[in-house]
Amino acid sequence: MRFGDLSDSDKVPYTVRSSERNMSPPQLESYLLNSQAPEAAKLTLQEWFQVKVLGRELYQWGCWNLLYRVLSSEAAAFLLDAGGYDIDLANANSVLQP
């Protein structure tokens, strides 16, 4: 597969929700952030530590834990597999992840 193919759900071997179809890994990350914090692009680092997600502050969530609660399991697996390395989306503080 080529990088451009990653945004074509017909070419990717994951069965994602209809709302997640035809999204590349970076688009899925944006979708995840914007679904929880609609003004994500405008937030400062200080403000990120005040964002609440699913009843608690975002910094209290591990990145993988949040992925699997917000995205379908297939979309979360796709996002992690497409990265190639666990380090990019390590299960660390969700605020400090890229």
Domain carrying residue 61: 3-96
Q: What's the number of domains the chain is made of? A: 1
Could you tell me where the beta strands, DSSP code E, fall in the chain?
52-53, 56-57
CATH number of the domain encompassing residue 70: 1.10.405.10
Q: What is the pLDDT of residues 58-90, one digit of tens each?
A: 888 888 888 888 899 999 889 888 876 655 555
- pLDDT tens across 14-31, in order? 999 999 999 998 899 888
96 membership: H or E segment, kind and range: none
